[in-house]
Amino acid sequence: MTSTMLDLVVLVPSRHEASNVTAVAERVETTLGVTGIAWQLVFVDDSDDETVAVLAGLAAVSSDVRVIHRPVGARVGGLAGAIMAGLGAVDSRWVAVMDADLQHPPELLLDLLEPLQAGTAQVTVGSRFLEHAGGREGRFRPAVSSVARRVVRASLPRARTVTDPLGGFFAFERSVVDGVAFSSHGARFLLELLVRGRQTLVAEIPYTLATRAGGRSKAGPDEGLRLLRQVARLKLASVPPPVPVPARAAVAVR
């Protein structure tokens, strides 16, 4: 389903996820296909393997799937850069972002969208740290994630509006990012959005991080260094602190 102005675009950055992208497309279609809203699934792909052909096949058989392939030399900024490339190529009232590895459940896209549709929030964040949420990241990654989350929340007051400011599963009104100068080099686009976005209300939904369906994680030591640089840069921004966030409720950002 396409139109000159879509209701929702689902942006999915991908790199070497040939074993997952078909399932992503099928599950998004099952979830959104019955809603009656105008939507499109957009893969922003940085792959050099068979993922390129798989995505081309998906786009060829469905007008609801679009692929933006970034060739070598044009892959500025990693995940955050891919999201910004997607934003620059599409137009919609709402944007949702999720990973291509199926750790973010496509079935919860409607839960992310609900506060935006109701007008009770302009940004909705999926959180692994709310009640009834959980993760399956092994033993090492949760400890690293917990330390990083504490550093971010201590350093950036606007990041305290949510319990999971470093996640990759979120949705927002396009109006909160239009005209805002985001950096494409940040490790986490959500963090950039929380600090620099024009939103006044933020909501959260709980979710459980699923086990990776296939492929392998792209995370590495360099990502931690990029995150530290991003936090230092954002800390220089003069932005008033928000009201503390209650779980699963919208919070005003002053």
Most confident of 80-84, 211-215, 243-247: 80-84
Flag whether 1 is in a domain: no
Transcribe 207-244 into DSSP letters: -BPPPP-SS-----HHHHHHHHHHHHHHHTS-----PP
pLDDT digits (tens, 9 = 90+) for 14-29: 999 999 999 999 999 9
Gap between the Cα atoms of 222 and 184, Å rounded: 16
Residue 139, pLDDT score: 40
Residue 212: inside a domain, yes or no?
yes
Strands 6-14 and 65-69: unpaired
**pLDDT winner (highest mean) among 91-100, 132-141, 229-238:** 91-100
What is the tally of structural domains in the chain?
Answer: 1
The CATH number assigned to the domain holding 93 equals 3.90.550.10
Q: Is 94 part of any domain? A: yes
Looking at the domain assignment, is residue 174 inside a domain?
Answer: yes
Range of the domain at 234: 6-252
* Whether the predicted pLDDT of 172 surpasses 90: yes
In a domain, 194, yes or no: yes
The rounded distance, in Å, linking the Cα atoms of 20 and 49 is 13
Would residue 18 count as lying in a domain? Answer: yes
Does residue 190 belong to any structural domain of this protein? Answer: yes
Segment (H or E) for 18 = none
For position 241, what pLDDT does the model report? 43
DSSP letter (8 states) at residue 70: -
Inside any domain, residue 21: yes
The region of weakest confidence among 77-91, 153-167, 178-192, 225-239 is 225-239
List, in order, residues 6 or more apart from 53 with CB less than 8 Å away.
Answer: none
Q: Give the highest mean pLDDT range of 15-24, 81-90, 125-134, 191-200.
A: 15-24
Chain center to CA of 60: 25
User: How does the average pLDDT of the chain come out, rounded?
Assistant: 84
Residue 11: how many other CB atoms lie within 10 Å: 25
Asked if pLDDT for residue 239 goes beyond 70, the answer is no
Model confidence at 141, pLDDT cuts 50, 70, 90, reads very low
